[in-house]
């Protein structure tokens, strides 16, 4: 046997690992033969002739190819591409939930406050099992979003899996046009108790008017004698990047770097700077609350304020959604939506799939998070409307944030006394 193995080794010519032919074949055209042959086989032998149209076969191949890259890249046929363009120009009905892929499962990142999904009791981390009776197990992210959207007033039926619940939970929710205030709960904490006046404001998402709403809230708190601020970005799923940059810019000098992108192409490199070059930022002590449902724009704000040394971050590591999708139209009216870059914080920290880590770790249990969201739902009910009493919430991260700000203020006053 050994002699036979040696004889075969002698007879076989030596093959280099990489040949000139390999370099020549590193082009899409060499693989077109395989694709074209497979399409011909389908056309020739597939049992259902009405499914063998060349264009549909090509579109199917494109969908498969692009969807294998990452959950945020996909192929849009002409109808889908036209629909996407119309969505950017008009209002549409939806549930107000942000959905992402986590552990290869369609997962609710966060329900936006004041929306049908929020009022119905959907929670961050809920896994979509069915949408209108159709299994979501192999559904793409885009298909899931398309099914959740629809005409305002129509209903959508959901089956979701929730940690700690042995059975799937059923929801039937009416779609609405999603237009809700994004700056909420602005107040001075402590009910007039003696000591420093610590302000609180929550930003639930980054929509077009958020920047102006946020500035008005800060101006109001400052007129009330605010000494320091807690900015709550928990359960904030993101939104408009330009608005997130505006919010971060309230606390950074004009022209300061908020975030930047990098990709394979030089055109993917962009820098996002705080607006108003030469403008003076607000300088009082600041803590930003974050958790695992703080995503996208919320992570950009948190990362910029952390890396610049402008704020302490309290809570949990953020979600880790920090990629840029570019839509490129194709000659036949279809398009490719492709991830072309990733976001980085000013300190060169990658956000995508890593998130932003807090300075002070202050986790909440799933039960406490659910109670906090239930209390927020209760706060939105009209006065005197009754309903179940909001559960008591031990908001440990907020308490830690207030303690940190009191310590900073106390240290600052002691330093001033020593200088005198």
DSSP 94-132: E--EEEEEETTEEEEEEEPTTSHHHHHT--TTPEEEEET
Instruction: Mark whether 329 is an active-site residue.
Output: no
Catalytic residue from among 73, 204, 293, 296? 296
Closest CA to 215 of 247, 187, 258, 254: 247
pLDDT in tens, 362-388: 999 988 998 898 888 877 655 444 455
Residue 250 backbone class (left: φ over 0; alpha: ψ -120 to 50; beta: rest): alpha
Torsion of CA 149, 107, 312, 347, to 10 degrees: -90
Residue 145 backbone class (left: φ over 0; alpha: ψ -120 to 50; beta: rest): alpha
Residue 277 has pLDDT above 80, yes or no: no
Specify the pTM.
0.78
pLDDT recorded at residue 72: 86
Instruction: Mark whether 307 is an active-site residue.
Output: yes
Instruction: Mark whether 53 is an active-site residue.
Output: no
Confidence band, pLDDT 50/70/90 cuts, at residue 415: very low
pLDDT recorded at residue 25: 54
Residue 85 has pLDDT above 80, yes or no: no
Between 46-55, 145-154, 215-224, 373-382, the lowest mean confidence (pLDDT) is in 373-382
Q: Tally helices (H) and strands (E) across the chain.
A: 12, 19
Catalytic residue from among 80, 126, 227, 307? 307
Which 3 state secondary structure label does DSSP give 78? helix
Catalytic residue from among 207, 308, 321, 342? 321
Between 39-43, 100-104, 203-207, the lowest mean confidence (pLDDT) is in 100-104
The per-residue pLDDT of the chain, averaged, comes to 86
Confidence band, pLDDT 50/70/90 cuts, at residue 117: very high
pLDDT recorded at residue 6: 33
Mean pLDDT (whole number) for 268-289: 92
Confidence band, pLDDT 50/70/90 cuts, at residue 37: very high
């Amino acid at each position: 046997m050994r002699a036979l193995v040696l004889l075969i080794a002698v007879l076989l010519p030596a093959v280099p690992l990489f040949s000139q032919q390999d370099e020549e074949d590193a082009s899409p055209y060499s693989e077109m033969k395989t694709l074209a042959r497979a399409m011909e086989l389908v056309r020739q032998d597939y049992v259902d002739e009405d499914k063998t149209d060349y264009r549909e076969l090509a579109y199917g191949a494109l969908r498969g190819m692009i969807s294998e890259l990452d959950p945020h890249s996909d192929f849009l046929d002409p109808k889908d591409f036209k629909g996407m363009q119309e969505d950017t120009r008009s209002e549409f009905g939806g549930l107000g939930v942000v959905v992402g892929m986590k552990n290869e499962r369609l997962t609710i990142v966060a329900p936006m406050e004041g929306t049908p999904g929020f009022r119905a009791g959907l929670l961050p981390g809920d896994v979509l099992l069915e949408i209108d009776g159709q299994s979501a197990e192999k559904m793409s992210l885009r298909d899931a979003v398309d099914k959740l959207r629809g005409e305002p007033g129509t209903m959508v039926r959901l089956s979701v899996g929730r940690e700690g619940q042995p059975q799937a939970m059923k929801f039937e929710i009416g779609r609405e046009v999603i237009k809700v205030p994004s700056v909420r709960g602005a107040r001075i904490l402590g009910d007039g108790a003696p000591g420093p006046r610590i302000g609180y404001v929550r930003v639930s998402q980054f929509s077009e008017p958020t920047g102006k709403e946020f500035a008005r809230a800060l101006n109001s708190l400052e007129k009330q004698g605010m000494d320091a601020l807690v900015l709550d970005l928990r359960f904030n799923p993101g939104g408009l990047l330009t608005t997130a940059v505006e919010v971060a810019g309230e606390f950074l000098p004009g022209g300061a770097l908020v975030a930047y992108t990098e990709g394979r192409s030089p055109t993917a490199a962009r820098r996002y700077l705080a607006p108003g070059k030469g403008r003076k930022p607000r300088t009082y002590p600041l803590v930003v609350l974050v958790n695992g449902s703080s995503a996208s724009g919320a992570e950009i704000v948190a990362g910029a304020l952390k890396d610049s040394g402008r704020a302490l971050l309290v809570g949990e590591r953020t979600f880790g959604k920090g990629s840029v999708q570019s839509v490129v139209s194709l000659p036949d009216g279809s398009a490719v939506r492709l991830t072309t870059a990733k976001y980085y914080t000013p300190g060169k920290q990658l956000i995508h799939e890593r998130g932003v880590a807090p300075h002070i770790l202050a986790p909440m249990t799933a039960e406490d998070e659910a109670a906090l969201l239930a209390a927020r739902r209760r706060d939105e009910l009209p006065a005197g409307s009754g309903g179940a009493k909001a559960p008591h919430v031990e908001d440990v991260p907020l308490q830690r944030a207030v303690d940190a700000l009191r310590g900073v203020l106390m240290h600052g006053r002691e330093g001033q006394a020593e200088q005198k």
